[in-house]
Structures are given as structure tokens and as C-alpha cells.
Amino acid sequence: MKSPSKGKEQKKILLAYSGGLDTSVAIHWLKQKYGCEVVAVTVDVGQSDDLKEAMRRAKAIGASRAWVIDAKKEFAEDYIIPALKANALYEGNYPLGTALARPLMVERLVTMARRLGADTIAHGCTGKGNDQVRFEVSIMALAPDITILAPTRDWNMSRDEEIEYAKEHDIPIPVTCEAPYSIDESVWSRAIECGVLEDPWQEPPEAIFEWTKGIESSPNAPEYVELGFCEGVPVSLNGVTMEPLELVTALNEIAGNHGVGRIDHIENRLVGIKSREVYEAPAAIVLTKAHQDIESLVMPKDLMHYKRAMEQHYANLVYDGLWFSPLRRAMDAFIEETQENVTGIVKIKLFKGSAVVVGRESAHSLYSTDLSTYEKSDEFDHSAAKGFIYVWGLPLKVAGVVNSTKNGNGVLNEIAVKEEYSSVCK
């Protein structure tokens, strides 16, 4: 990889600034090492940090300019919604809030780099996480000419050494550095790592949770919510029409209040490490359940089964940083086609940490009471089942006969089997 251009051509390094310790130290370190201008850019995807304060800090440390780009609406509409249509849960658990936010951040960073004439983008990811991969692979896809720097990975300082470096160089340390946890937030999920959580046996302490109530303190009465979908997109909450961002934000609040959306996941990172991740994702969990459920009402069996298999692949691909791949675009095109009839309402009961779908309706429902009922009105032709089972089971029966012959079940058995075989083959 090229190092940033020197001398006359040298322009600016654009730093993906989170406001945390790593990227705060990085502003100073990059300026020292490369002697060039560092511009701090924070892409707002719904982190609850005080981003204005972060900007002030970036400038105080020495960034020539500091920007916050509000990308929450785009994040909800162009990243969360496709992932929801794909029911994307990594390893069946994690709704991918961090993984989805990285390609959007890169999109915005690259646009900014072009506008400001920066030839280098730096990020503050460490060398053992997934985010370094997501950042770099996305930059490679969108701006192959841009030089990438990963100072945190290169300088190899421990956290304490970083704090020491910050003190030595009068870098204001963000307050969050006192907390033993590493937090990453977007409107789709809040991820918590480090501290006691590194011991997979230790129950996550109540104090780490901010979006969800504990079961002990959540309401003692259940609450029902109705989610309206239109072609796979959630469009209303309890009958009130909402844009995706507004809906996700409101549902995080409602479901979080009932303790819904806590996830404790031993996760397989792309870089080969198993890590213990704790998430809060109330809206993501409720919406995914509801979306899967309405799909099962309106989708033909073969299409749904095929899509379910693809969903896992989709989640892996997003997790692994390949958002900007042709495969993801092709999968999205397929998934979009499957959403044509995914319109209707899902009723969910929230209570003491659980979100259970308890009702669903759609004008495109393929559910037929006339066929499913056990009452008199039943229209299913029971006699047709006999011939169907004969044909369906025939290959197994033939194999069964052949295998039991091979296994040598004795002369008597063999005679019986032969008789059976000839009757099968008649």
C-alpha cells in the first residue's frame, strides 16, 4: 500500500473519527508522522454520543476541520431496510448494526475525500476486529486509488499506553475512556464488548444496558404492537404511518421498555477469533420476527425455503465486509422480487423480554381455512393423500427393500423382502 503522498502533492488525510480514545490519539499521531493536514469526519448513524463535543475535541487536538455528517435516514432506508428484507441475522443472532454502518460510513467518507481533495483515508480500527476489513474493503471497492491508513493497528500501543500518549501530548481524553467497555452504536443495534464480558461465563452486568430494561424492572403487563408492512418495508406502527428511521427509533423505545432485544452471542469473527458480544437491538429483533412471519403467510413454500437459505449467505456477506460486492447487489435484486406480496399487518406481544408474534393478516395471504380446518367445512380431499404418499415414499421404499436385502436379514426375511419388492415394482 502506498504511503500518503509527500511534499507538493501532499494534501490531506481524512480520518474516520468516532470521538473515542483511538481516533483522538490518531489525529495527533497522524499529524506528527506524516506532517500533513488531518480532517476529522464523523458519520452519524444514530450513536448517542455527543457528536458536537467530539468535533470540538477533534479541533482541539489539531484536526484542521471537523465534520459530522447526519446519515441516519439513509442508513435506515438504504441499509437497514434491505437487511430486514433479507431477515439478516449473523449466526442467527446479530442484526448487523455495526457491519451495515461501515459501508455507509465509507460511502460518505469517500464523497468527502473527493470534495476536499484528500488522497488518504485513515480509520481507527484495531488489527483484530471485523471493522478494519469492512472499512478497507469498502474503500477498495469505491475508491481504489485512495491510500488507506490504519494508525491504531500500526502503532501497537496498549490502551494504557494510548492514555499515557494522550496525557503527554495534552490530548483531551473522552470521558467514555473511563468505562471498561467498548461500545458501538447505530439505530439498528448497540454492541458492547470488553471488561467482564470477556469471560463468557460471566452474566452481563445490568449496568451495561442502556436501550433495554431488565426483566425484573420491565412492566408487569404485556403490550401489543401492530406493525404494518408494504412490499417488505415496515410502514406503520400501531396504525400510525412512519418513515423507517422514525419507526425503528420508536420501536427501540417500546420494545426496549419490555426488555426485548438483548443478545448474548459467542460470535465467529472474520479474522478467526471467537468473541463474546452483547447487543441491544429491540427494534431489529421485533421487526425481523414480524417480517419473517408475514413472509410465511404470503410466500409460496419453495420460494420461502430458497430465500431462507440465501438469507444466511446474505448475513455472512454483510458481516464479512462485502456490501459493495456484485453478489450483494444480485441478492438484493432477487430479494426485492420476493417482497411484492409482503404487505399486511403483524401483531406482536411484548412481555418480560420476549416478543411473540400472535397474529398476522394480509390481502395476499396464502392461508386457506377451507384447506387447513379440521371442521366440517374442510375442502381438502383426504383420499388424494394415499396416492400422493405412495409416489412420495416410493424411492425410500425401494431403497429400504434393497438395503435390508444387502444387510442379510436371513432367508425368511429375504423371501418376504422379495415378495415386497416385486409388489413395489409391479
| Distance, CA of 408 to chain centre | 54
Given the residues 18, 138, 182, 275, the one annotated as active site: 182
DSSP for 370-389, written as a single string: HHH--STT----TTHHHHHH
Q: Which residues pair with 121 in a beta bridge?
A: 14, 148
Close Cβ partners of 35 (under 8 Å, ≥ 6 residues apart): none
Q: Please report, as residue ranges, which positions from 279 to 338 form the binding site for ligand ARG (by CB under 6 A).
A: none
Beta carbon of residue 193, minimum distance to ligand ARG (angstroms, whole number): 5
191 binds ligand ARG per the rule CB under 6 A:
yes
Q: How many angstroms separate the first and last alpha carbons of the chain?
A: 71
24 binds ligand ARG per the rule CB under 6 A:
no
Beta carbon of residue 424, minimum distance to ligand ARG (angstroms, whole number): 54
Query: Is 378 in the active site?
Result: no
The residue among 133 and 247 lying less far from ligand ARG, judged by its C-beta, is 133
In the list 24, 47, 132, 182, the residue contacting ligand ARG (rule: CB under 6 A) is 182
3-state secondary structure (DSSP) of residue 190: strand
The residue among 40 and 346 lying less far from ligand ARG, judged by its C-beta, is 40
193 binds ligand ARG per the rule CB under 6 A:
yes
Q: Binding segment for ligand ARG among 183-191, 252-260, 298-306, 326-334 (CB under 6 A)?
A: 183-191
In the list 24, 42, 87, 130, the residue contacting ligand ARG (rule: CB under 6 A) is 130
Query: Is 182 in the active site?
Result: yes
Beta carbon of residue 123, minimum distance to ligand ARG (angstroms, whole number): 11
Q: Cβ(139)–Cβ(123) under 8 Å?
A: no
Phi and psi dihedrals of 377, rounded to 5? -70, 0
Which has the closest alpha carbon to 336: 247, 233, 246? 233
Query: Is 362 in the active site?
Result: no
Q: Cβ(180)–Cβ(171) under 8 Å?
A: no
Q: Cβ(401)–Cβ(416) under 8 Å?
A: no
Given the residues 102, 134, 190, 328, the one annotated as active site: 102
Q: Which residues pair with 344 in a beta bridge?
A: 229
Query: Is 134 in the active site?
Result: no
Beta strands in 71-111 (DSSP E): none
How many residues would you count in the chain? 426
Q: Please report, as residue ranges, which positions from 73 to 102 form the binding site for ligand ARG (by CB under 6 A).
A: 98-99
Helix (DSSP H) and strand (DSSP E) numbers for the chain: 15, 14
14 binds ligand ARG per the rule CB under 6 A:
no
In the list 162, 277, 295, 311, the residue contacting ligand ARG (rule: CB under 6 A) is 277
Beta carbon of residue 182, minimum distance to ligand ARG (angstroms, whole number): 4
184 binds ligand ARG per the rule CB under 6 A:
yes
In whole angstroms, what is the distance from residue 147 CA to residue 123 CA?
11
Q: Binding segment for ligand ARG among 177-185, 320-328, 357-365, 404-412 (CB under 6 A)?
A: 177-185
3-state secondary structure (DSSP) of residue 341: coil
Residues binding ligand ARG: number (CB under 6 A): 10
Q: Binding segment for ligand ARG among 178-186, 208-216, 227-235, 366-374 (CB under 6 A)?
A: 178-186
In the list 119, 267, 280, 311, the residue contacting ligand ARG (rule: CB under 6 A) is 267
The residue among 87 and 152 lying less far from ligand ARG, judged by its C-beta, is 152
The residue among 16 and 191 lying less far from ligand ARG, judged by its C-beta, is 191
DSSP for 36-70, written as a single string: SEEEEEEEESS--S-HHHHHHHHHHHT-SEEEEEE
Which has the closest alpha carbon to 174: 29, 56, 63, 33? 56
Binding region for ligand ARG (CB under 6 A)? 98-99, 130, 182-184, 191, 193, 267, 277
Positions annotated as catalytic residues are 22, 102, 131, 182
